[in-house]
Amino acid sequence: MKKAQYSPPATLRVAMRAGNTPPLHYSSSPITIVSGGQTGADRAALDWALAHRVPCGGWCPKGRKAEDGPIGLKYPLKETPSESYIQRTEWNVRDSDATILFSIEPTLTGGSLRTREFARKHGKPHLHLCAGNDTSADDLRTFFECHDVKVLNVAGPRASKEPKVGQFVMALLDEVFGVLD
């Protein structure tokens, strides 16, 4: 049986300020967003991708473990052999082309800090975007212009640590990759 190939909607465009600026994603194949499915930044990226018909997935801990209980089946995640968050964190970094870390606070801690360490270990481009930085959208656009990213790992704090991080992720992805009618 032939697998259906994803075709992004014709209205998917990069929301660039300058009208003549080339799009962030140059090939005909769409970007895929991966994350570990935790509440906060991870879940917001998956929700954004699903809402905009952008392919998504990633690794999650065995049992679909997250701080709010098992991760819903609407999220197309694969379980690691371990219940450890750290294994899914490393595997998502390892299996992606680049990682974007979103946060409200300017300093990364906990799992977000480990994500950056894994990106360095695996030689993957990575970028930390903080809500307090007015240039986050431009920084993300520049990052995509400099790196050939087809699979993007999105990471950041869980909702219990930074309750507004999900809103930041959604707003920034809308601003940079927004869907035009």
Confidence of residue 5 (pLDDT cuts 50, 70, 90): very low
Closest CA to 41 of 160, 178, 158, 177: 158
- What contacts 42, CB < 8 A, 6 or more positions away? 35, 36, 58, 154, 155, 156, 158
- Beta bridge partners, 57, equal 34
Give residue 32's identity as a one-letter amino acid code.
Answer: T
Residue with tokens 């967003």: 33
Task: Give the pLDDT of residue 179.
Answer: 58
Question: First CA to last CA across the chain, in angstroms?
Answer: 34
Specify the pTM.
0.83
Listed by start position, the domains of the chain span 32-177
**Using one digit for the tens of pLDDT, what is the confidence trace for 28-79?**
336 999 999 999 999 999 999 999 999 999 999 999 999 999 999 999 999 9
**Per-residue confidence (pLDDT) for residue 126, from 0 to 100:** 98
Helix (H) or strand (E) holding 59: strand 59-60
Please, what CATH class does the domain formed by 32-177 belong to?
A: alpha beta
Segment 101-136, tens digit of pLDDT = 999 999 999 999 999 999 999 999 999 999 999 999
List beta partners, residue 79: 60
